[in-house]
Structure 1
Amino acid sequence: MNLVSIRIITENVGKLLEFYEHITEVKGIRFTDDFAELQTAHGTLAIGSTRTLQLFGGSEVAKAAQNHTAIIEFITTDVDKFYQEESVFLAPYLVQEPTTMPWGNRSLLFRDPDGNLVNFFTPLSAEAIKKFEGKI
């Protein structure tokens, strides 16, 4: 079994898609007004509207803009450079400037327009670099 995607439920697919296209520099695919995807080499970030919840058992299955437990993580070659280039854009969303974590990654934390926590990170320690070899 392999994890292939994470889906965010939102009331505004277009706004979230534009945000993630900007920060990842990946062009999303808008399949319908209610569903889009950003496909990377190692996984997909899917974005579904609240209207799609009816297909999964009803509107109570998930709640848009109420994530308080998950962090959406993207690996990048140089998180400090990314932050320097995007600091103005990220300013209203910023949670924490690039910080070196005890497990060997340098992490930048911010929220997307719906409040979902996002981590852009670069492996720094030898162990972290080895762990993520071939993933950047």
Structure 2
Amino acid sequence: MMFASTRLVVNDIKAVVGFYELVTGLSATWLAPVFAEIVTPSATLAIGSTETVALFKEGSAEPASNRTAILEFRVEDVDVEFERLKDKVEVVHEPKMLPWGNRSAQFRDPEGTIVALFMHATDAAKARFAGR
């Protein structure tokens, strides 16, 4: 089995896609007016408007309701990325060290999902993720 993507169901697909294009520096691929993907080397972030919920089961997903998942993007230098983004998006926290050896900053996308940018900062964290 291979983990392929995470999908967000959103009210304002243009705003959310624009946010992730800004954060990742990647252009979205629009597969339909109600569905886009940001493809990274390790996984895909799929973004669907609320109209896509009806394709599965009405009421099965609710936009702007996430309070548990954090989307994480590994970057080369979290401080550089923070400086690039801090005046353009909502900041949750500035770069700081986490107990497991990562340096991380967090933001919120236009519908409230937390987005973390992180880098492995300690030798132990770098060794744990070598080859991934």
Task: Tell me the TM-score normalized by structure 2.
Answer: 0.95
Distance in 2, Cα, partners of 1:116 & 1:88 = 18
Tell me by how many angstroms 1:14 deviates: 1.1
C-alpha offsets along residues 72-126 of structure 1, whole Å, 9 cap, x if unaligned? 0000000011112222113xx1110001000000010111000001110010111
Task: Report how far residue 49 of structure 1 moved.
Answer: 0.7
| Structure 2 runs not aligned, ≥5 long | none
Q: Find out whether 1:16 has 2:7 as its counterpart.
A: no
1:35-86 deviations in Å (ceiling 9; x for gaps): 000000000000001111111111x101000100100000000001111222
Within a 5 Å distance, the mapping from 1:112-123 to structure 2 comes to 112-123=109-120
Which structure 1 residue ranges, 5 or more long, are not aligned? none
Q: 2:95 aligns with which of 91, 98, 105?
A: 98
Which residue is 1:36 aligned to?
A: 36
Paired residue total: 132
**3-state SS in 2 of match to 1:89:** coil
Instruction: Give the alignment of 1:1-136 within 5 angstroms.
Output: 1-58=1-58, 60-90=59-89, 93-135=90-132
d(CA) in 1 for partners of 2:129 and 2:34?
Answer: 33
**Fraction of identical pairs, as percent:** 39
Runs of 4+ in 1 over 4 A off after TM superposition: none
Partners of 1:40 and 1:22 in 2: how far apart? 14
